[in-house]
Amino acid sequence: MEGGFFYRQKNLMRSTNKIPLQRASNAALASLLNLTLLPVLGFAYLIFTFKKTDPDGIDRYHTILGIKINIIAATVLLVVSGLMIFFGGFDSPWTWVYVISYFTIVHTVFIVFAIWALVRAWSGEKLRSSFTKT
Amino acid sequence: MKYESQGVAKLYFIAAIGLFVGQILFGVIMGVQYISGDFLFPEIPFNVARMVHTNLLIVWLLFGFMGSAYYLVPEESERELFSPFLAKLMFWVFLVAGALTILGYLLVPYATLAEITMNDLLPTMGREFLEQPTITKIGIVIVALSFLFNIGMTILTGRKTVITLVLLTGLAGLAVFFLFSFYNPDNLILDKYFWWFVVHLWVEGVWELIMASLLAYVLIKVTGVDREVIEKWLYIIIAMALISGLVGTGHHFFWIGTPDYWQWLGSIFSALEPIPFFMMTLFAFNVVNKRRRDHPNKAAVLWALGTAVMAFLGAGVWGFLHTLAPVNYYTHGTQITAAHGHMAFYGAYVMVVLTMISYSMPIMRGHKASNERAQVFEMWSFWLMTVSMVFITLFLTGAGILQVYLQRYSEAPLGFMVTQDKLAIFYIMREVAGLVFLAGLIVYILSFFVKGKEVEVI
Ligand code: HEM
Ligand code: HEM
Ligand SMILES: [Fe+2]
């Protein structure tokens, strides 16, 4: 069915909750930026907006998601790469074989995930929707 | 199928898939030669296999683009194709010319091929990807012009949409930039300039327009999202592609005897080149998230999303990896380049053609989507090919990093062949991944023959 009940419901939800939606979108964007062009700054923005968000709102959800993802990404990328360098040795070519390949592919996985989170935030939804589309 | 003439696409797609198989067979042959240099020598020397592998790739992608255009344009323009006869005629011309050229590569030494095709009159042979005898190149131009005329007349006398106009611009650009392949100056540096005006301006310029429009078309069809939304995205994507990609050509002019300013221009503009690919991912995710219906062709949706992500990975990320002059100083022409070349070509252009085939082939065969079992096969082939391509890329990247270190970075640099010996483990793993890719391709072909409970008939 074209459109459908849930679709209209969602549109309704979207038009009535402009401000939290805006904040959720900004948070998701900050999370993506922190992973790409503006590391640290993006994260600072997330911490900064956290206080403004509504505890049960979609804005809080995406802010928390952004914070979590970036903490995990920082750990998984920087700490693991750091350990590889520490144990592999700075002067071993094999260290760089692992570090560069690992960093590039895993970093991209986080970015792609953050892109998905961003489009979910744009439509005012959590990562998993509670209803299916018709 | 709304218009009968869309059906010519089927011919083009079948040929494309056939040549794809040939391409991959030569790929795995070379993969063995990388491990054991004498394999199939002197019957199929590495340089010949390489030429066949890359030329088949280009030719089947062109078949794929043309088939896609023939399918898409009548529907978008709301009229039959200007001349279905011309489309069929050109199909056979192109197929015969392509087959003869490949046979020429395989059966006679390249120098002899140059002689019999009278390369001396207008020398254009001998450059990577553009190895075709001059007469084949002329054939390609004739096919391309007839195709453009056919598509152009259909578009211009029918309903004009942003999708068809972007597609037409991309296809016209493809034909125009190919003309640089006829100019072959003696000065090697100038020669390289013009060579890149074909190769780079294709894949990082006009082909991106083709890709974006095909992706947009399939996404409209499978998600039912409004055209206006999709058109806005298309504008931004193609603007970014052209702004970054044109001057971005400079990333090939760093070390070939060109002025130094190219190191700045090339680095800065090509660093922006990932943006259009990034936007395509954002666009595809956004549209699928906002979908108004679940189309029965799940495989096509998977291919569409996969294209966006893998193109971002192969072109955007792996391109950026070696595009800044200080990095490229070390990585130029190493296995890193091959890693990027594989994932970018697969992720962007192979996958977008397979997306179009996935969406349109069932319709041309009378169903809205393939039966469920066939779709399961198709999705398996998606994962087998895509995951093995990720591994091919990772192994080549590993090989490349080690190569750069041992051969160019270390304080006691090793010679080229000494280094190659040390990369053997990567080449073995690449070949294993390549065989999985081939298996995925076989599953893909089987998916067209698998029977099962049909979904909606149209
Ligand atoms: C779908 C798009 C793309 C395709 C199909 C593609 C394909 C290729 C191929 C096949 C080569 C090797 C050419 C040769 O020397 O034989 C190459 C080289 C290169 N590509 Fe791409 N590419 C794409 C996009 C990009 C992007 C977006 C960037 C930059 C962000 C990039 C950066 C480079 C660089 C720097 C080289 C030169 C490597 C060297 O110095 O050896 N590419 N590309
Ligand atoms: C759809 C899949 C594939 C695509 C799009 C593709 C594309 C390409 C391209 C663009 C090149 C030229 C690279 C450059 O100039 O840097 C190339 C070369 C090559 N490909 Fe593939 N290829 C594919 C599959 C395979 C497979 C499955 C194998 C084997 C396991 C393979 C093995 C090779 C080899 C050995 C070369 C020569 C590299 C060299 O000159 O050192 N390819 N391929
Ligand atoms: Fe390029």
Instruction: Report which of B255, B250, B427, B273 is spatially closest to residue B339, judged by C-alpha positions.
Output: B427
- Which residue in the set B289, B292, B394 is minimally distant from A101, CB to CB? B394
Q: Please indicate whether, in this complex, the C-beta atoms of B292 and A2 are within 8 angstroms of each other.
A: yes
pLDDT score of B11 more than 70: yes
Q: Which atom of ligand 1 is nearest to the CA of B255?
A: 40
Instruction: Report which of B69, B66, B53 is spatially closest to residue B20, judged by C-alpha positions.
Output: B53
Angstroms from B224 CA to nearest CA on chain A: 8
Q: Give the pLDDT mean for B382-402.
A: 98
Closest residue of A to B277, CA-based?
A: A112
- Do B322 and A100 touch, CB atoms closer than 8 A? no
Shortest-distance ligand to the CA of residue B352: 1
| B377 C-alpha to ligand 1 centroid (Å) | 32
DSSP, residue by residue, B3-35: SGGGGHHHHHHHHHHHHHHHHHHHHHHHHHHHH
Q: Give the pLDDT mean for B360-381.
A: 96
Contacts of residue A56, Cβ cutoff 8 Å, sequence gap at least 6:
none
Condensed to tens digits (0 to 9), the pLDDT of residues A72-121 reads 999 999 999 999 999 999 999 999 999 999 999 999 999 999 999 999 99
Condensed to tens digits (0 to 9), the pLDDT of residues B305-338 reads 999 999 999 999 999 999 999 999 999 999 999 9
Q: With H, G, I as helix, E, B as strand and everything else as coil, classify residue B68.
A: helix
Give Cα separations from B12 to B65, B356, B434 (angstroms): 9, 12, 25
Instruction: Report which of B158, B248, B246, B175 is spatially closest to residue B210, judged by C-alpha positions.
Output: B175
Q: Please indicate whether, in this complex, the C-beta atoms of B286 and A101 are within 8 angstroms of each other.
A: no
Which residue, judged by its Cα, is nearest atom 9 of ligand 1? Answer: B341
What does residue B457 show for φ and ψ, rounded to 5 degrees?
-90, 145
pLDDT score of B78 more than 80: yes
CA separation for the pair B272, B242 (Å, rounded): 10
Residue B430 beta carbon below 6 angstroms from any ligand 2 atom: yes
Q: Please indicate whether, in this complex, the C-beta atoms of A105 and B309 are within 8 angstroms of each other.
A: no
DSSP, residue by residue, A63-92: HHHHHHHHHHHHIIIIIHHHHHHHHH-TT-
Q: Is the peptide bond before B42 cis (omega within 30 degrees of 0)?
A: yes
| B384 C-alpha to ligand 2 centroid (Å) | 17
Give Cα separations from B16 to B50, B302, B412, B445 (angstroms): 19, 20, 47, 12
Show residues of chain B in contact with A125, CB under 8 Å. Answer: 289
Give Cα separations from A133 to A6, A86, B124, B218, B301 (angstroms): 7, 49, 56, 19, 15
pLDDT value for A3: 39
pLDDT value for B458: 61
Show residues of chain A in contact with B294, CB under 8 Å. Answer: 133
- Do B355 and B301 touch, CB atoms closer than 8 A? no
| B335 C-alpha to ligand 2 centroid (Å) | 11
CA separation for the pair B190, B355 (Å, rounded): 38
Angstroms from A49 CA to nearest CA on chain B: 24
Q: With H, G, I as helix, E, B as strand and everything else as coil, classify residue B118.
A: coil
Predicted model pTM? 0.95
CA separation for the pair B374, B449 (Å, rounded): 8
pLDDT value for B453: 86
Condensed to tens digits (0 to 9), the pLDDT of residues B51-69 reads 999 999 999 999 999 999 9
pLDDT value for B457: 62
DSSP, residue by residue, B405-442: IIIIISSSPPPHHHHHHHTHHHHHHHHHHHHHHHHHHH
Instruction: Report which of B344, B363, B237, B231 is spatially closest to residue B299, judged by C-alpha positions.
Output: B363
| B162 C-alpha to ligand 3 centroid (Å) | 26
Condensed to tens digits (0 to 9), the pLDDT of residues B287-312 reads 999 999 899 999 999 999 999 999 99
Condensed to tens digits (0 to 9), the pLDDT of residues B336-369 reads 999 999 999 999 999 999 999 999 999 999 999 9
Q: Give the pLDDT mean for B372-395.
A: 98
Distance, first Cα to last Cα, chain B: 8
**Residue A130's pLDDT band (cuts 50, 70, 90):** low
| B404 C-alpha to ligand 1 centroid (Å) | 17
Q: Give the pLDDT mean for B87-112.
A: 97
Hey, what are B416's tokens? 């080229």
| CATH architecture of the domain covering B227-449 | Up-down Bundle (1.20)
Hey, what are B289's tokens? 């998230």
The single-letter code of the amino acid at B288 is V
Domain locations along chain B: 1-160, 227-449
HSE-CB of B31 using CA atoms within 13 angstroms: 23
Longest CA span, chain B = 68
CA separation for the pair B102, B270 (Å, rounded): 34
For the range A87-95, what are the long-range contacts, defined as Cβ-Cβ under 8 Å and sequence gap of 24 or more? A93/B401, A93/B402, A93/B405, A93/B406, A93/B410, A94/B402
Pocket around ligand 1: residues whose beta carbon is below 6 Å from it? B 128, 203-204, 251-252, 270, 273-274, 311, 315-316, 319-320, 322-323, 328, 332-333, 337, 340-341, 344-345, 348
CA separation for the pair B356, B304 (Å, rounded): 9
Which run of H or of E encompasses B145?
Answer: helix B134-156
Q: B383-415: string of b/e by CB count within 10 Å (b at 16+)?
A: ebbbebbbbbbbbbbbbbbbbbbbbeeeeeebe
CA separation for the pair B101, B140 (Å, rounded): 11
pLDDT score of B286 more than 60: yes
**In this predicted structure, which of A48-62, B108-122, B124-138 has the lowest mean pLDDT?**
A48-62
Q: Please indicate whether, in this complex, the C-beta atoms of B317 and A108 are within 8 angstroms of each other.
A: yes
pLDDT score of B190 more than 60: yes
Show residues of chain A in contact with B397, CB under 8 Å. Answer: 100-101, 104
Instruction: Report which of B87, B66, B69 is spatially closest to residue B19, judged by C-alpha positions.
Output: B66
DSSP, residue by residue, B167-213: HHHHHHHHHHHHGGGG---SSHHHHHHHHHHHHHHIIIIIHHHHHHH
Q: Give the pLDDT mean for B442-455.
A: 94
Contacts of residue A64, Cβ cutoff 8 Å, sequence gap at least 6:
A50
pLDDT value for A17: 67
Shortest-distance ligand to the CA of residue B385: 2
Condensed to tens digits (0 to 9), the pLDDT of residues B403-436 reads 999 999 999 999 999 999 999 999 999 999 999 9
Mean pLDDT estimate for chain B: 97
Q: Please indicate whether, in this complex, the C-beta atoms of B402 and A104 are within 8 angstroms of each other.
A: no
pLDDT value for B100: 97
Residue B341 beta carbon below 6 angstroms from any ligand 2 atom: yes
Give Cα separations from A97 to A30, A88, B324, B399 (angstroms): 31, 10, 19, 8
pLDDT score of B158 more than 70: yes
CA separation for the pair A6, B186 (Å, rounded): 66
CA separation for the pair B50, A15 (Å, rounded): 57
Hey, what are B184's tokens? 């072959």
